[in-house]
């Protein structure tokens, strides 16, 4: 199969419209060709007139470890072009930044999750390009989680940098497809183009989203494996709690929780009692870790590791958002007074609880905290939203 960047580099007719144009590239460490050449270097070597570049959250180099760690603008020392940060003084490109190019190539590897901020960066770029009369091309890459949709829709008025629009947590689209939906949903008057992949078959073996003949490169520092990419639509919610998501270890965001004062085995038994169907599609393994930094640093934490990989992975049964919600519910049942929800500034949202910002509304938190609420109650909420979302995006899907 071929990703968008590889097709652009090898198919002359796709590059032809770039002749005589100034081109900018939005990229990060995973923006590489099949031969692992970075897209910035490869485009310039191919003769494309790249006049600027942009880095999203975590930076063009991917060196910034945590949320709300900003990146400064710089000059690329090899190519002597400006590299603008879209996670520093600004989140959306300024008029001066937009003036540096005519066509903006977007080549970010996504995880298929609304909260992963590259989705919002694409929307902001498209909105500013529409205002400035510029073109946006998405060089499409796989959604490593494949096509499944899961979670409640973001509630209008709950938008943030981790919630660009009324979409569920696991959106089931590639960035190219997402751009088509953004263009329609926000009625953007924009020259928008997708360099589509060839041979990508979401939902099919082998890979079920991520092709087995392509190596995985971290698109952000804590996105270390395909297993993480599959689990992330659930485990990212831990960022809104006092539980550890495994930052400060070698396998962050691949655990359901980590804490020195929670019995992981007991939590798993309670999860199995509450909603055994929600545990399907993966294996859970009790483990221990001691974070070297971040929450519970230096403390021994009991945990449940998610294995949505190998023989344990069932692509069509695995539902990470429900799985994570169930872990929270089990903890609340076993430890009714546990200080679960972390109250701190999250992605520059200062008023709302982080867990509500992450979920695009309070419904999940309220379900966890309601002692009378059953798994079926959350299922009903999510089922309706998931069905509506699938219908909404159907006209914009490119890969079947």
pLDDT for the residue numbered 71: 81
How does residue 69 score in pLDDT terms, banded at 50, 70 and 90? Answer: low
Q: Is the pLDDT of residue 68 over 70?
A: no
Assessment of whether the complete model's pTM goes beyond 0.75: yes
Top-level class of domain 226-369: alpha beta
**CATH (one of 3.30.200.20, 3.90.1150.10, 3.40.50.12170, 3.30.70.1070) for 4-219:** 3.40.50.12170
The predicted-structure confidence for 183-214, as pLDDT tens digits, reads as follows: 999 999 999 999 999 999 998 988 999 999 99
Q: Where are the domains of the chain?
A: 4-219, 226-369
Whether omega before 206 lies within 30 degrees of 0, making that bond cis, reads yes
pLDDT for the residue numbered 349: 86
Structure tokens at 74: 């710089």
Query: To 10 degrees, what angle do helices 320-334 and 226-235 make?
Result: 50
The predicted-structure confidence for 115-139, as pLDDT tens digits, reads as follows: 999 999 999 999 999 999 999 999 9
Mean predicted confidence (pLDDT) in 75-101? 95
The predicted-structure confidence for 295-325, as pLDDT tens digits, reads as follows: 999 999 999 999 999 999 999 999 999 999 9
Please check whether residue 117 is in contact with residue 56, taking contact to mean a CB–CB distance below 8 angstroms. yes
Going 181 to 168 to 277 to 387, the CA torsion angle's sign is negative
The predicted-structure confidence for 333-385, as pLDDT tens digits, reads as follows: 999 999 999 999 898 888 899 999 999 999 999 999 999 999 999 999 999 99
Q: Is the pLDDT of residue 66 over 80?
A: no
pLDDT for the residue numbered 67: 59
pLDDT for the residue numbered 64: 58
């Amino acid at each position: 199969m071929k990703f968008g960047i590889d097709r652009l580099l090898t198919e002359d007719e796709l590059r032809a419209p770039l002749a005589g144009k100034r081109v900018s590239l939005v990229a990060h460490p995973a923006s590489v060709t099949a031969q692992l050449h970075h897209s910035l270097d490869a485009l310039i070597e191919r003769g494309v007139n790249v006049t600027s570049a942009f880095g999203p959250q975590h930076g063009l180099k991917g060196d910034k470890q945590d949320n709300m760690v900003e990146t400064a603008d710089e000059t690329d020392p090899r190519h002597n072009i400006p590299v603008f940060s879209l996670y520093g003084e600004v989140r959306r490109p300024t008029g001066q930044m937009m003036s540096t190019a005519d066509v903006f190539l977007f080549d970010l590897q996504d995880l298929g999750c609304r909260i992963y901020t590259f989705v919002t960066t694409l929307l902001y770029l498209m909105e500013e390009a529409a205002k400035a009369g510029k073109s946006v091309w998405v060089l499409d890459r796989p959604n490593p989680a494949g096509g499944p949709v899961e979670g409640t829709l973001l509630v209008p008025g709950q938008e943030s940098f981790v919630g660009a629009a009324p979409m569920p947590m696991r959106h089931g689209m590639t960035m190219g497809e997402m751009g088509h939906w953004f263009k329609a949903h926000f009625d953007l008057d924009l020259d928008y183009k997708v360099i589509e992949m060839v041979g990508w078959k979401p939902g099919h073996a082998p890979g079920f989203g991520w092709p087995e003949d392509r190596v995985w490169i971290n698109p952000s520092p804590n996105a270390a494996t395909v297993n993480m990419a599959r689990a992330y639509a659930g485990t990212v919610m831990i960022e809104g709690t006092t539980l550890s998501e495994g930052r400060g270890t070698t396998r962050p965001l691949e655990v359901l929780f980590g804490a020195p004062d929670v019995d992981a085995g007991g939590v798993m038994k309670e999860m199995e009692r509450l909603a055994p169907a929600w545990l399907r599609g993966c294996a859970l393994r009790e483990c221990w870790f001691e974070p070297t930094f971040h929450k519970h640093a230096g403390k021994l934490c009991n945990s449940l590791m998610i294995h949505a990989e190998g023989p344990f992975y069932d692509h069509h049964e695995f539902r990470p958002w429900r799985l994570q919600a169930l872990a929270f519910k089990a903890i609340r049942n076993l430890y009714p007074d546990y200080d679960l929800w972390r109250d701190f500034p999250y992605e520059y949202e200062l008023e709302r609880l982080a867990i509500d910002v992450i979920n695009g509304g309070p419904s999940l938190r309220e379900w966890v905290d309601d002692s009378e609420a059953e798994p079926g109650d959350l299922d009903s909420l999510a089922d309706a939203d998931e069905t509506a979302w699938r219908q909404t995006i159907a006209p914009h899907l490119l890969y079947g």
